[in-house]
Amino acid sequence: MSLTYHLQVVNLLAALLLLISFAMLSQRRIIGLVTLFAWQGAALALSTAIVAWSTGQHHLYYSAGLTLILKVIAMPWFFYRLVKKLDVDREVEPMINIPTTMLIGIVLVIFAFNLALPISQMSGTVTRSTLGIAMACVLLAFLMMITRRKAITQVIGFLAMENGLFFAATSASYGMPLVVEMGVALDVLVGVFVLGIFFFQIRETFDSLDLKHMEKLKEH
Amino acid sequence: MTTGILLQIAQTLLAILLAPLLMGWVNQCRAWLQGRSAPPITQPYRTLRKLFHKDAVIAHDASPLFRFAPYMIFACMALAAGIVPTIANDLPFSPAADVIALVGIFALARVFLALAAMDTGTSFGSLGARREMLVSFLAEPALLMVFFTASLISQSTELPIIVETLAHREFVIYPSMAFAAVAFWMISVAENARIPVDNPTTHLELTMIHEAMILEYSARHLALIEWAVALKLFTYSALGIALFLPWGIAAQGDFNALPLAILALVAKMALGGAVLSFMEAISAKVRLFRAPEFLGTAFLLGVLGMLIHFLLEV
């Protein structure tokens, strides 16, 4: 192994991202989920900054800063307030119980690693081996969206998926063009605020944030 | 060779003598964190002395196995403590068992403890033994996974070679070891009957696991078992240090590094004990039926560590 130290740190952070994804899958409380999401953002921002520093890609600094402000400070703060206001800290039992979800998660990780192997061999970046982890993060966040019932957890799952995609972009091709990244960041921000308003509407209509009520399309 | 054997004896004796001190330190930290006035750090030694001076009471129905088990358990733990490198690496005893055999030694002690618990036929004993078996059959594969991750990195299941690879070669960050470290922490918490899987201070029948098994023991037998428990905690800590923080363990035949190695060991153990008691203070004991979930997570992290190794480190 002949990687330089900062790339080893990037690898370590990639592993940390995967670890946090699994922790999110197993987390029952929404506040804990928000905290984990903030940590995931922090790991992402740090790894992006290290990649920027080691490869001299200056626009990656901006995306690291953007990640730090949006995903580590703004959004978790917003979610904390939302959870307090809506008073929904306890998640109901997920659709599939947690140990089973974790086992499915392991299968997804193996799938993602195998899937990423040929792709990362084509890529020329130094961080290409972390692509598999990024894909695993995306799939795990997707799994969380599928297995959870509450609207807030699904949105956090969505944001975690965005984290994974962002990490995939950084590791496969040193990030997207800055314009695209700004656009995505703005979209996510607006999306979160709109969904925040939706939560209130959903609760007002159905007296709960459980999305299974929305399966009934008829009016009462 | 003679110096090696002397060093081996010194290391094993050090482990046996220091183990109650580690236990005392953990108890002291825990008392501080809970806002109680702490017992002195030497309290475990005093307890052991008191117990050794008492007359043993043994149930009428107890078989010889019941008397024999404490010696067996203590011997197993002393053997394990001799194999794990604590201050010096590659001692003459180490080739006796690799990490897989080490898991076997722990299992042997556990089997004897469970058999002795069931021997007197009390309901608490068999209750504790069953719970212990439930916890340990989940913890063992997870522990093996952690060892396999370390073995894949160093291409060997021998502890001295693992330590040699991790401590005395060029420094490399292994992301897989981060996963293995978290898994190992969870396993050692479960195996040493600490919170959140078991509470070492409780005697409440609904929750106790380890304490239920040793209720029938008294005097010197109890002292040996308590000592073995302390030794187990010490050995697990030494194992964690050898796998994840091996810097400071003296290389083979390097006698000048020995004082530093002892200092490093004491510092790491003190830190580890403090962290253990801190984790115990902030977490609550989980229900027994949550324990499989806890250990399932540990197993999963071990497997993930192996997968990460194949992805990032090959």
pLDDT (tens digit per residue) in B186-204: 999 888 888 787 877 777 7
The pLDDT value recorded for residue A147 is 85
Residue of B218, B280, B262, B229 whose CA lies nearest to B87: B262
Q: Tell me if chain A has a CB within 8 Å of the CB of B179.
A: yes
Measured between CB atoms, which of A15, A106, A110 is closest to B300? Answer: A106
Q: Kindly report which listed range (A60-64, A211-215, B129-133) carries the lowest average pLDDT score.
A: A211-215
Q: Are B15 and B231 in contact (CB under 8 A)?
A: yes
The pLDDT value given to residue A150: 76
Higher pLDDT, residue B200 or B106 = B106
Residue B97: C-alpha distances to residues B91, B94, B100, B229 (Å): 12, 6, 8, 21
Q: Which residue has the higher pLDDT, B257 or A73?
A: A73
Q: Helices in chain A by DSSP H: which ranges?
A: 5-26, 30-55, 59-67, 75-86, 98-122, 131-147, 151-173, 178-206
Mean pLDDT of A174-195: 75
Selected residues 147-176 of chain A with any CB under 8 Å from a CB in chain B: none
Domain that holds residue A70: 5-215
B172 and A109: CB-CB below 8 Å? no
Nearest chain A Cα to B304, which residue?
A106
Shortest distance between the Cα of A97 and any Cα of chain B, in A, equals 10
- B296 contacts A129? CB cut-off 8 A: no
Span A1-26, pLDDT tens digits:
445 777 788 888 888 888 898 888 88
Query: What percent of chain A lies above the pLDDT cut of 90?
Result: 3
Whole-number pLDDT of residue A1: 41
Asked if residue A220 belongs to a domain, the reply is no
Region B146-151: mean pLDDT is: 89
User: Of all helices (H) and strands (E), which one includes residue B22?
Assistant: helix B2-33
Contact B115, B65 (CB under 8 A): yes
The average pLDDT across B70-88 equals 87
Q: CA A66, CA A83: separation in Å to the nearest integer?
A: 24
Quick check: A5 and B173 CB within 8 A? yes
Q: B178 and A8: CB-CB below 8 Å?
A: no
Q: Establish if A94 belongs to a structural domain.
A: yes
Q: Assess A42–B contact: CB distance below 8 Å, yes or no.
A: no
* A104/B contact by beta carbon, under 8 A: no
Are the C-beta atoms of residues B274 and B29 closer than 8 Å to each other? yes
Burial class (CB in 10 A: 0-12, 13-18, 19+), A85: exposed
Mean pLDDT to the nearest integer, B61-66: 86
pLDDT score at B253: 66
Structural domain boundaries in chain B: 2-312
B301:A12 CB<8 A: no
Report the candidate in A100, A196, A190 with the shortest Cα–Cα distance to residue A146: A100
Q: Is residue B296 less than 8 Å (CB to CB) from chain A?
A: yes
**Which pLDDT score, from 0 to 100, does residue B75 have?**
92
Q: Which of A8, A18, A132 sits opposite B173 (nearest CB)?
A: A8
- Listed residue (B67, B84, B4) closest to B217, CA to CA: B67
Instruction: Report the alpha-carbon distance of residue B284 to residue A189 in Å, rounded.
Output: 37
Amino acid at A49: A
pLDDT tens, residue by residue, B202-239:
777 777 888 888 888 888 899 999 999 999 999 999 88
pLDDT digit string, tens, across residues B271-296: 988 998 888 888 878 888 888 888 88
User: Which of chain B's residues have a Cβ under 8 Å away from the Cβ of A106?
Assistant: 300, 303-304
CA nearest to B290 within chain A: A99
What mean pLDDT, rounded, does chain B reach?
85
- CA dist B217 and B213 (Å) reads 9
Domain count for chain A, please give it.
1
The per-residue pLDDT for range A136-148, each reduced to its tens digit, is 998 998 898 888 8
ipTM: 0.73
Q: Cβ contact (<8 Å) for A113 and B310?
A: yes
User: Residue B115: how many CB atoms within 10 A of its CB?
Assistant: 17
By CA distance, what is B295's nearest residue in A?
A: A99
Q: Which residues of A touch B176 (CB under 8 A)?
A: 15
Q: Which residues of A touch B296 (CB under 8 A)?
A: 99, 102
- A25 neighbors A105 (Cβ within 8 angstroms): yes
Q: Is the per-residue pLDDT at A74 higher than 50? A: yes
Whether the pLDDT of residue A100 is over 50: the answer is yes
pLDDT of residue B184: 92
Q: What is the rounded CA–CA span in Å between residue B216 and residue A97? A: 39
CB contact under 8 A, B175 and A99: no
Distance from CA of A113 to the nearest CA of B (A): 7
Chain A interface disruption, residue of B244, B293, B312, B314, most A CBs within 10 A: B312
- A 10 A CB-CB count for A208 gives 15
Name the phi and psi angles at A97, rounded to 5. Answer: -65, 160
